[in-house]
């Protein structure tokens, strides 16, 4: 496990970033742990994570709401 810093912000307000420090196995797991702690409609849109001891190694994940509703079809047997 490693210590990661996760930054979360909205596309419209790049300067207002929320920083979180979490312990996780990977940067992806660190982002998921922060993102899953809030409801979908309150997701800021952009998450970026990096190891606390190596800030040059970062991963950025962008969340976007679907432009139209996703229609799920029931599986047929």
Please tell me whether the overall predicted TM-score, pTM, comes out greater than 0.85 for this model: no
Given a cut of 70, whether residue 77 has pLDDT beyond it is: no
- Both tokens of 5, joined, read 């810093």
Nearest residue to 30 via CA among 40, 20, 39: 20
Q: Tell me what the mean pLDDT of segment 46-61 comes to.
A: 89
Q: Where are the domains of the chain?
A: 2-62
Given a cut of 90, whether residue 75 has pLDDT beyond it is: no
Which pLDDT score, from 0 to 100, does residue 65 have?
A: 63
Cα–Cα distance measured from residue 7 to residue 17, given in angstroms and rounded to the nearest whole number = 6
């Amino acid at each position: 496990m490693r210590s990661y810093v996760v930054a979360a912000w909205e596309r419209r307000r790049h300067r207002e970033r929320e920083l979180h420090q979490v312990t996780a196995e990977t940067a992806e797991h660190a982002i998921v742990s922060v993102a899953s702690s809030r409801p979908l409609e309150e997701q800021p849109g952009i998450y970026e994570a990096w190891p606390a001891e190596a800030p040059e190694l970062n991963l950025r994940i962008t969340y976007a709401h679907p432009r139209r509703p996703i229609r799920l079809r029931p599986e047929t047997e």
